[in-house]
Structure 1
């Protein structure tokens, strides 16, 4: 009655639209493959551990499911940050003549599209995500080749991953929030400093919405929850249940403390749930 999501494993079309397909793994070396869910006529993409899909719970890493858009954005921004760091690139091209070094550094700092799938697949060998860290391993040889190719206005090809290479590992601390112990809705927070303080009332409401849904799925009724909480009527329970369906963007903002300042618990509970998707 309350759960309206359909989890699906993506086929070829979905994989082609997933920037990190074939590159991202959990911290037990399980490939995380593209999946999606549908809710209220909207489609949400994820990467899900193959161990979870295969019901091998003992083999699942500390991260089993993550919103695709969040991790893709994080990887692109981290890769861009590395490429635009003159010091990092200079260390890689130090054996070239100075004029060549400057040309390659300029190229790295001025790539037209850092989210280009061909670029990402050409220079990234592997991504490993855990509860507190994300490791992005770049292929040094391929990176230099790509910069050489781009500096000469030529097209590059995606290399064979089986070839030997010199790894460059970028390690970033991350913050991932789970609104419920049993729900794998995971949010990346790329901000390591000056992190906003989440509103405890809003966060608690999100957590309760997932708890209530689990109870409903287990066979309990709204009246049971009403009695457990000691409420005179079921209005509050129903309003909290609706929070399960707010958009992932708003959920992320609430959990990270980046929601609009004027967004209070009272205001959230007074929203028409369908208006929250417009």
Structure 2
């Protein structure tokens, strides 16, 4: 491997040092799955036992992959943490390979690499059963493929973007990122449009089985997940002046206490229509706080 060469010793030492810190963090900082992290963990255990993919509340791509890992190596937080460490190491190698393709000074490349491998979140998240490390690794893989000369790269990107979309539902817009980048660089329309459409179509193909499953489960069209409405409500209601998580039930005259909300299905409960008035109030409060 190129990173083992003498000229690249700096990157190898940096990577091994950062990995050592990640291992020490996992060993000495004990974490317990909580909230969404607990949901991912419990769902992964059920999937490893042949259970269902949960409800439609949040995206389950990470839990499906972790459940597969659990089915092979056993269920346990330590298995998830080791999986994170492996993903982190792969991410470091992908980052190294990526910066070697960037046309900047060697000093600049080293600074970027150091910032990435020692970035606190890239260390801390190794002890958390969450989507972040897997999502980051796959994003780096997609980026490496994009800058490669592989003639099927848009096919591979589309498939991986579909996996990313199962982990973070907003990733469906990645095709548009490719379109913008290529239209700016190439100053042409047709080729960027074709390439971005390949990515979009394959992303949709990969995501389609989960969308079908969710739609059948709920009884109306349901995307990869449908917690967007309640998340907006939690972060933007008129009593949330700091814009961070709070229990929806703690909001005065909370919408989740209404009969209309209780009688709705999961997709209807998370419809933005329910939350627009409260979101607007939250934005007004945020504006007052900032200005």
TM-score (norm 1): 0.27
Taking CA–CA contacts closer than 8 Å with sequence separation of 6 or more, which of the two structures ends up with the larger relative contact order?
A: 2
| More strand as a share of residues | 1
TM normalised by structure 2 equals 0.26
